[in-house]
Amino acid sequence: MSNSTETFGLTVGTDKGGTGKTTNTMHFSYWVSRHYSNVVNRNLRVLLLDLDYQTNLSQRFNVYATEHTAAGIFNPHYGDVKIVKVREHIDLVPGSVFMSAINKEIDSEPNKLWLIYNWIKENVNPDAYDFIIYDTHPDFENTIQAALLASDNILIPIEQDEDSQGGADTILINIKNLKQKMYNHKYGVSEVTVKPILLANKMHHNTKLSRELKAKIGEVENLLAYVPFRTVFDTAQKMKMTVWEYYEAYPKLLDSSAKKFLQELDTAYQTVFDAITDGQL
C-alpha cells in the first residue's frame, strides 16, 4: 500500500545483483521529474530512499552521508533523517552502510515492516511528492519487505541470462509469500498490495538471448518493456550524470544512433509510468 492515492510508491528490487537496479532507479526518477503532467499542471516530484547498504544510488547523486541517513527510519539511535535535494524535482534520503546491521537489529520488532510506511506518514507531506521510489539491496530482508508494504508496485529489472531471470522468479515467490504473511483476516485482504513490473534490461540488438527475451514482452506476465544496452550508461555514471544530462553536456555526441537509443529509453519508461499511474497523472 502507499500512503496516498496521489503518491505512487515504487520499490526497485530483485534477488540478483548487477541487473541494473540502481541505474534504472536513477534514470526512471529523472525521467519522471522531467515529465510535465496536465493533471497537476506541473513537473512531477520524486522522493528517493536509498535502502541499500552499498549506498550506490546516493553516490551516483554525489551524496556521501555518514549521518541523517535512511538508517534513522528504522532506529532512532542513528539520528534524525534529512531529505537532500539532488536534482530539480528530485529529493533523496541518503543511504547508510549500517542498513545491513539494521536488518538484524529490527528482526524481533513486531512492527518492523511498518517502519517505512509510518515514517512516510509522519514525516512526508502527501502533497510534496508524486512518486516515492525505494532502491533496495538484492535480497529479501526486512528493509525491502518494509518498502514493499509502502509501495504500489515493484520494478524488477531482468537481463538475458538465466540467473537474472531466476532472481526475478525468486523475488516474485517471496512477494507472494509476504502477501500471505501480511493477510488481514478481519478485512479479507493483504496489507501488501504491490504489483510487479518486469523490465528487460541491457538488451543487445544482435544477440539471440536478447532477441528472445524482447520477443516475450507482452506475452510473459508483467514483462512490459525493455531498456537497450549502451555503454553510455557507464560513461554517464562515472560523471554522476544520467544519459540525458550527458548528451546535454556533450551535444555533439547526440547522433542518430544516440537519438534512437533515447527514444527507446523514453518508450520503456513511458510504458512503466503508464502501468504505475493508470492515467492518474
pLDDT tens per residue across span 178-226: 999 999 999 999 999 999 999 999 999 888 988 889 999 989 899 999 9
pLDDT at position 56: 97
- Assign a CATH topology to domain 8-277: Rossmann fold (3.40.50)
77 versus 164: which is more confidently predicted?
77
d(CA 151, CA 147): 6
Model pLDDT for residues 149-177, shown as the tens digit of each residue: 999 999 999 988 877 777 788 999 999 99
pLDDT at position 51: 97
Secondary element (H or E) of residue 201: strand 195-203
Closest to 57 measured CA to CA, from 194, 261, 242: 242
Contacts with 25 (C-beta within 8 Å, 6 or more apart), sequence order: 12, 48, 57, 133, 135
147 falls in which pLDDT band (50, 70, 90)? very high
Identify the weakest region by mean pLDDT among 1-5, 58-62, 114-118: 1-5
Model pLDDT for residues 213-260, shown as the tens digit of each residue: 999 998 989 999 999 999 999 999 999 999 999 999 999 999 999 999
End-to-end CA gap in the chain: 18
pTM of the predicted structure, to 2 decimals: 0.94
4 falls in which pLDDT band (50, 70, 90)? very low
Tell me the pLDDT of the chain averaged across its residues. 93
66 falls in which pLDDT band (50, 70, 90)? very high
Model pLDDT for residues 9-47, shown as the tens digit of each residue: 999 998 877 889 999 999 999 999 998 888 888 999 999
What's the angle, vertex CA 96, arms to CA 102 and CA 177, rounded to 5? 45
